[in-house]
C-alpha cells in the first residue's frame, strides 16, 4: 500500500463542526489526485466518505466502519487573469476563507454571496452549496474528479448533473479540483462580504457547534419557518436543539448524543408533515 498519511480509530467529533460522533475506522490525508485514485481502487467507492471541515455532516455514536478521505493536504490554487476575467484553479481542500481573501485582494465579483459559508471547495461542489440566491455552480467552469473506478475525469460544467443542493458527485465520485470564473468588479467586494458575514452572525448561531442548515428549503417556503411554525424553534432534547436564533440550525449545547439528534429530526419531520403536508428533506449528511 502507498505510504499515505493516515489516522486509525480517530475521534469523529474532531472532524465535524457540530462535535457529535463516535470513532472512525481510518482517515487518510492524500496529497494528490493519484493517491485519491489509489484509495478508491483499494477500498471501493462505496466504502469511502470524503471529508473537508465537516460543516454539513453528522456522525453516529459508536464505531463507524468507513474509510474517510480528508482534503487537508489538497490546498493548492492558481490564479489566471484574462482581460477582466479571473480564473481560479482550486483543489478540494481550499477553504472559502482562502477564496474570500483572493476575491477581496483583487476585488472580484461572483463569489461574494457564498462568502460566509463554512466550507471547502470539494464539499461545496458536491452539494452545490449556496446562499443569498447564488450557488457555486453559478461560477464553476470545470471539475476534475475521480470516479467509482478510480479513473480521473475532467468534466465541463455543461456535462455535470446538478440542481438545488445537489450534484452527481454525491453518488458518482470524489471532487479533486475545480475551475471557477470571476470578474473584476466596480463594487466594493470587501464591504459586501463584510455585510454578509455580519448578517450571518446576526441570524445564525455561529458561536455554537452546529452543522449548518439542517433541511433543504421546500419550494416556495423556508424550512426554518416551518420548524418554527410547528413550535420547535428553540426546542431541545438533551443537549441537542433547534436554535432559538434560526430554527433550521441544530445546536450542540454541550455533549449532545446522536440518539437525541435523530429523535429531534424525526419529531420535526413528523410535525411538518402533519401540519403542512410537506416532507422535509435533510441537507445534512448522516453517517452511521
Helix (H, G, I), strand (E, B) or coil at 178: strand
Q: How many CA atoms lie within 13 A of 7 on its CB side?
A: 12
- Going by pLDDT thresholds of 50, 70 and 90, the confidence category of residue 252 is very high
| Cβ 254 vs Cβ 239: under 8 Å | yes
40 occurs within a structural domain = yes
Q: Are residues 100 and 63 in the same domain?
A: no
Q: What is the mean pLDDT of residues 175-201?
A: 93
- Rounded to whole angstroms, the Cα distance separating 15 from 5 reads 16
- Going by pLDDT thresholds of 50, 70 and 90, the confidence category of residue 183 is very high
Short-list 103, 85, 107, 87, CA closest to 95 = 103
- Going by pLDDT thresholds of 50, 70 and 90, the confidence category of residue 199 is confident
- Rounded to whole angstroms, the Cα distance separating 2 from 83 reads 43
246 occurs within a structural domain = yes
Is pLDDT of 154 > 90?
yes
Is pLDDT of 158 > 80?
yes
Is pLDDT of 1 > 70?
no
Q: Are residues 163 and 215 in the same domain?
A: no
Question: In the chain, what percentage of residues exceed pLDDT 90?
Answer: 92
Q: Are residues 87 and 168 in the same domain?
A: yes
Q: What is the pLDDT of residue 84?
A: 87
- Going by pLDDT thresholds of 50, 70 and 90, the confidence category of residue 201 is confident
CATH no. for residue 126?
3.30.465.10
Number of domains in the chain: 3
Q: Are residues 274 and 227 in the same domain?
A: yes
Is pLDDT of 2 > 80?
no
Q: List residues with catalytic annotation.
A: 165, 213, 283
Q: Which domain holds residue 247?
A: 206-287
pLDDT digits (tens, 9 = 90+) for 74-89: 999 999 999 889 999 9
Q: What is the mean pLDDT of residues 1-25?
A: 94
Q: What is the pLDDT of residue 8?
A: 97
Is pLDDT of 165 > 90?
yes
Which distant-in-sequence residues (6+ apart) come within 8 Å of 185 by Cβ? 107, 108, 109
- Which of 164, 189, 214 delimits the end of a domain? 189
Looking at every residue in the chain, the average pLDDT score rounds to 95
Is pLDDT of 150 > 70?
yes
For 263, phi then psi, to 5°, come to -60, -40
Question: In the chain, what percentage of residues exceed pLDDT 70?
Answer: 100
Name the CA dihedral angle for 123, 127, 132, 134, rounded to a multiple of 10 degrees: 100
> What predicted TM-score, i.e. pTM, was given to this entire model?
0.92
pLDDT digits (tens, 9 = 90+) for 32-65: 999 999 999 999 999 999 999 999 999 999 999 9
Q: What is the pLDDT of residue 116?
A: 87
Amino acid at each position: 500500500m502507498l505510504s499515505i498519511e493516515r489516522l486509525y480509530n480517530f475521534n469523529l467529533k474532531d472532524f465535524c463542526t457540530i462535535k457529535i460522533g463516535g470513532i472512525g475506522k481510518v482517515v487518510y490525508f492524500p496529497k494528490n489526485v493519484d493517491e485519491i485514485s489509489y484509495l478508491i481502487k483499494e477500498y471501493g467507492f462505496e466504502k469511502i466518505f470524503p471529508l473537508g471541515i465537516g460543516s454539513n455532516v453528522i456522525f453516529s455514536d459508536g464505531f463507524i466502519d468507513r474509510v474517510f478521505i480528508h482534503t487537508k493536504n489538497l490546498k493548492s490554487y492558481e490564479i489566471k487573469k484574462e482581460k477582466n476575467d479571473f480564473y481560479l484553479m482550486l483543489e478540494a481542500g481550499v477553504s472559502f476563507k482562502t477564496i474570500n481573501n483572493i476575491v477581496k485582494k483583487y476585488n472580484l465579483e461572483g463569489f461574494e454571496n457564498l462568502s460566509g459559508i463554512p466550507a471547502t471547495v470539494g464539499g461545496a461542489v458536491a452539494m452545490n452549496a449556496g446562499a443569498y440566491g447564488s450557488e457555486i455552480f453559478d461560477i464553476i467552469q470545470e471539475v476534475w474528479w475521480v470516479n467509482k473506478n478510480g479513473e480521473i475525469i475532467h468534466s465541463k460544467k455543461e456535462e455535470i448533473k446538478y440542481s438545488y443542493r445537489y450534484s452527481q458527485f454525491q453518488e458518482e465520485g470524489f471532487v479533486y479540483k475545480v475551475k471557477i470564473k470571476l470578474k473584476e468588479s466596480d463594487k466594493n467586494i470587501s464591504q459586501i462580504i463584510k455585510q454578509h458575514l455580519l448578517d450571518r452572525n446576526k441570524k445564525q448561531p455561529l458561536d455554537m457547534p452546529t452543522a449548518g442548515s439542517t433541511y433543504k428549503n421546500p419550494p416556495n417556503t423556508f424550512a426554518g419557518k416551518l420548524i418554527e411554525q410547528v413550535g420547535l424553534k428553540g426546542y431541545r432534547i438533551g443537549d441537542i436543539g433547534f436554535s432559538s436564533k434560526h430554527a433550521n440550525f441544530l445546536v450542540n449545547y454541550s455533549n449532545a448524543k446522536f440518539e437525541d439528534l435523530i429523535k429531534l429530526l424525526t419529531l420535526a419531520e413528523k410535525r411538518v408533515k402533519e401540519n403542512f403536508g410537506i416532507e422535509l428533506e435533510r441537507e445534512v449528511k448522516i453517517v452511521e
